[in-house]
Structure 1
């Protein structure tokens, strides 16, 4: 199965797959607006603004699986991201990233790029997955790794 085969719903509920991002570098992130890492939204937005025209897509997937840090519905999440963080990159419907209800996209990402010591589980919000133009998952970045610290890795793929 290819990363482009996974069905996703955008923040407004429209269903599609990831083929719209074929040929682009993707940075896929599980997000939460009430997380201590939420200031990373600004860094993600800067990367998006700086490199979108060169082929970068930043994709945000809200999740409420970590300390109830994304309790709102999709409309609230979108509003907070736009108003408080200036987000204009694509946001998707709130999902689970771990457990039996984990979205298949995140199950795939975790299998393709395991975490520290081979762990498959996502440990917290703002885990980032970098995907190359051919749809290969290149690397997983821990939540504490800021968008600024992964800019070089993105540049190499662009």
Structure 2
């Protein structure tokens, strides 16, 4: 990554505080005119799902997230970027992922956050297993063609 902007990347079990992360990113960053946040939640799938179990490949997940963040910083001229992904068993309606992009203008911030999420969904080594409210444990969730299509629009 050639940019002097260093992304804040974390993979963690514990929840994150969206406002604290926005404050950390925006404090002392000159030229910021827009901050876009995306917080992905565990869906309850119409009341069927109790939780998702997320696993990752330690070290490789952080490295891939850093690589993706670097691409976004360079491509969209971002002034700051935070990407946090949780792992472990996460209850329905709780936070899974956070992406915050800071840029001089709104479009770059929106595009940067969108780009990062589209690549995180397809390139970062995370796996999800569903846990039903009825006590059942599903299979590992398969990749979706729609996620690949979303990523491919950036090529």
Q: TM-score, normalised by structure 2?
A: 0.30
Structure with a larger share of its residues in strand: 2
The structure with the largest alpha-carbon Rg is 2
